[in-house]
Amino acid sequence: MDSWRGVSVPKLPGPGPELRIRDTATGQLVNAAEGHAATMYACGITPYDSTHIGHAATFTAWDLLLRAWLDAGHDVTYVQNVTDVDDPLLERAARDGEDWRQLAEREIARYRGDMEALRILPPNRLVGAVEAMPLIERFNGLLADRSALYELDADVYFTRSADASFGSLSGLDTEAMTELSAERGGDPGRPGKKDPLDALVWLGARPGEPSWESEFGNGRPGWHVECAAIATEYLGTVFDMQVGGSDLIFPHHEMSASHARVAAGGRGAPAFARRYAHAGMVRLGGEKMSKSLGNLVFVSELVAGGTDPAAVRLALLAHHYSDDWDWTDAGLVAAQRRLARWRSAVGSVVGPGRGLAAGSVAGGLAAAGVAAAAAADRVLAGVRKRLADDLDAPGALAVVDRWADAVLTGPSAGEGQPAVAGSPAGEGQVVRDVVDALLGVEL
């Protein structure tokens, strides 16, 4: 399906550092990409009640990751799905007496608009489950070839015992997995299953629900197999990063990886993501912001109410992506103040510099130019360093804060700093480019 419109990313001088990320499976800080080509799969939205601040925070985290990769010179392929047919979407459509396709289309459009407003770079491919039916069926065919599927009534299950590495991502014991599976869309208690943790890969058609013909009968795909099939189709058997919110570690990412390992032959050869990153949950009033609870703050409503999307983005970036945190009005106000301060600092030093027009003596001018270039370099190096260290956005914001403080309150506050000889841009422009390219915020 169509992705959304991207924004141009300023090119910064020299390649940035290699991004290190904390891998969920091992807990280690590791290089996010293995080679020059860098590949990422992000689990996308289920399009009903999108895009709340929790979604926005998660997709902003992956946007930072993408921007760090681009800055480091990687050739990036980024794929995201849209779960445009699944139980929660169908249930919502039924509740509201709306056609499920219409609901999905409207929410996907809203999501695209929100992603554009937040200057989140689009994936190379945005793939809906509905359009992916043929490749999901092919993928299920591979699982069947490995004798990893069985039927229960008209449904088809994946037998997790086919995968010796099942559990290696979450590291959870069976009891914890069973509990989470029941909470998050699984059916561990269903009689007739060979193992409570076996996952549905094909649901036989239910009355009144959409279904597709396949060699497994009329039906629709399970959730985990959707992402396993789309990711491996477009990124290959092995790729660099699988990302999503922490609520997806188990069962979703564990199951998708397990499916993919078995589809790839199941002989211990690497399959699916080399690394996993998970974003913390954004709460409202102490509870996870979630569509099912309905405690939501929408990006589209904030923006329609006149909030600058750049301030929303800064409010998100004030938290480390892996932390759980509460969305508050005070956090948004602080972000608005920060944005105004940064804009004011950039505005006061932007351009070739009023210092040039002021007719300073050559020596003073050169010294001011060197100081300005050094200040801009500190921002560039500092923001890069913080982001390369497990996407430390709060640390990166602090680097820019220090620069803005120095500009607005330092001895030469209000004085334009000239560009250095041979430097293509003045201090303000360099900072503006750094904040734009790496943090996605337009000053």
**Footprint of Zn ion on this chain (CB under 5 A)?**
43, 227
- Bin 3: left if φ > 0, else alpha if -120 < ψ < 50, else beta: beta
Footprint on residues 290-329 left by ligand 5CA (CB under 6 A): 290
Shortest separation between residue 129's beta carbon and ligand 5CA, angstroms: 9
245 vs 355, which CB is nearer to Zn ion?
245
For residue 120, the 8-state DSSP code is P
Q: Which of 38, 45, 118, 142 binds ligand 5CA (CB under 6 A)?
A: 45
Q: Which does 57 bind (CB under 5 to 8 A by kind): ligand 5CA, Zn ion, none?
A: ligand 5CA
43 vs 439, which CB is nearer to Zn ion?
43
Count other C-beta atoms under 10 Å from residue 29's C-beta: 12
34 vs 87, which CB is nearer to ligand 5CA?
87
Q: Does residue 254 bind ligand 5CA (CB under 6 A)?
A: no
Q: Which of 27, 276, 257 is nearest to 164 (CA)?
A: 257
DSSP 184-236: TT--TT-TT-SSTT-EEEEEEPPTTS--B--TT-SEEE-HHHHHHHHHHHHH-
Query: Residues 198-237 vs ligand 5CA: string with x where CB under 6 A?
Result: -----------------------------x----------
Footprint on residues 343-372 left by ligand 5CA (CB under 6 A): none
Query: Residues 49-68 vs ligand 5CA: string with x where CB under 6 A?
Result: -----xx-xx----------
282 vs 441, which CB is nearer to ligand 5CA?
282
Residue 4 contacts residue 59 (beta carbons within 8 Å): no
Shortest separation between residue 44's beta carbon and Zn ion, angstroms: 7
Q: Which of 114, 163, 247, 392 binds ligand 5CA (CB under 6 A)?
A: 247
3-state SS, residue 311 = helix
**Separation of alpha carbons 342 and 392, rounded Å:** 19
108 vs 372, which CB is nearer to ligand 5CA?
108
Q: Does residue 279 bind ligand 5CA (CB under 6 A)?
A: yes
Range list of H helices, 389-420:
393-409
132 vs 400, which CB is nearer to ligand 5CA?
132
């649901």: which residue's tokens? 203
Q: Does residue 44 bind ligand 5CA (CB under 6 A)?
A: yes
Q: Which of 201, 249, 289, 425 binds ligand 5CA (CB under 6 A)?
A: 289
**Separation of alpha carbons 63 and 4, rounded Å:** 13
Q: Does residue 251 bind ligand 5CA (CB under 6 A)?
A: no
**Separation of alpha carbons 243 and 279, rounded Å:** 8
Work out whether the CA dihedral 244, 231, 36, 275 comes out positive or negative: positive
240 to each of 34, 232, 264, 267, 374, how far by Cα in Å?
Answer: 7, 11, 16, 20, 35
Residue ranges in contact with ligand 5CA by CB under 6 A? 43-46, 54-55, 57-58, 81, 83, 227, 244-245, 247-248, 279, 281-282, 288-290
